Amino acid sequence: MKVNFLGTGAGLPSKYRNTQSIVFNFMQELKECWMFDCGEATQHQIMSTTIRPSKINKIFISHFHGDHILGLIGFLSSRSFLLNKDEEPITIYGPVGIKEFVDFNIRATYSTLNYKINFVEFDSSNKILENEDVVVESVELDHTVKCYGFKISFKNKKGTLNVEKLQQLGIKPGPFYRTIKEQDVFEYNGVNYNSSDFLSKEKKGKVITIIPDTIFFDDIIKIIRNSDILITECTYLKEDELQLAKNHKHMNIVDIRKIQKSCDINKIFLTHISSRYDKNTIKEIQEQLEENLIVVKDLDEFNL
């Protein structure tokens, strides 16, 4: 799985940062790509990547501030020109009102889509998606408007088959191996066996948490805990700007330190960066941070 940061700025586009949008490439795991937020000019940013808009079939919107949503209608419209007739519809997950927002703007701009949009609206912390591979939860945050984060939990996968052990029983490779892996108990030559005795240890699924705009609050630790990967806003990167962050209901590097102290996280990606910092300042700040704490920039791509 990979993550592409299409836009990493806060509030408005700047010379080096577009507004918020993140795309996960889950093609290997789910044969899908997912987008989280769609700020202005996201459709332009995506042209500088290898991501195919036609493969994005789920979009998650955190809140209605313009830097997180103003690119959505343009992206949806452009997507129509890039689809084959047999492409699947798209599902948009967002706070109550997202359907009204999209429907109105599609009508107002006389846009015509050649695919169906399904909507999943929510107004609190909820499980909003679950299938055999993954669970996605919306998590309510604390911002100047209703805003939600998202927790993506991939389900544990069964271990690999011990082929040598099966062959000792006389079971040769073939379609029966799949049956053994899928069932708890299998029968061979009139004897029942526990499939778990022929499997390696279960593979733990990754947990990815995305925290858009919010002030630090006590329950955010509960939300983030047990995450392997954290993508979080950190609008203000200097410790002496903590009060400024609080005034605007955003997070500061001091808040990130609290999260680091309370949660054992493999990688923390900092986004939604204020335009007040130039490239040299960002470089200086990054040099002072631990290896697992990364201030991302537009078009960064990471393997997760």
For position 86, what pLDDT does the model report?
59
Residue 182 pLDDT greater than 90, yes or no? no
Residue 302 lies in a domain: no
For residues 170 and 43, membership in a common domain is answered with no
Number of structural domains the chain divides into: 2
Residue 96 pLDDT greater than 70, yes or no? yes
Residue 303 lies in a domain: no
Residue 280 lies in a domain: yes
For position 158, what pLDDT does the model report?
85
For position 267, what pLDDT does the model report?
96
Selection from 184, 220, 218 nearest residue 199 by Cα? 184
For residues 16 and 140, membership in a common domain is answered with yes
Residue 67 among the catalytic residues: yes
Q: Which domain holds residue 292?
A: 2-157+203-296
Which tokens go with 234?
């950190």
Instruction: Report which secondary-structure segment, H or E, holds 94.
Output: strand 90-95
Q: Which amino acid is at 245?
A: A
Selected catalytic residue, list 67, 213, 255, 298: 67
Could you tell me the CATH number of the domain that includes residue 49? 3.60.15.10
For residues 99 and 150, membership in a common domain is answered with yes
pTM above 0.75, yes or no: yes
For residues 193 and 59, membership in a common domain is answered with no
Residue 301 lies in a domain: no
pLDDT band at residue 81 using 50, 70 and 90 as cut-offs: confident
For residues 172 and 272, membership in a common domain is answered with no
For residues 6 and 40, membership in a common domain is answered with yes
Residue 177 lies in a domain: yes
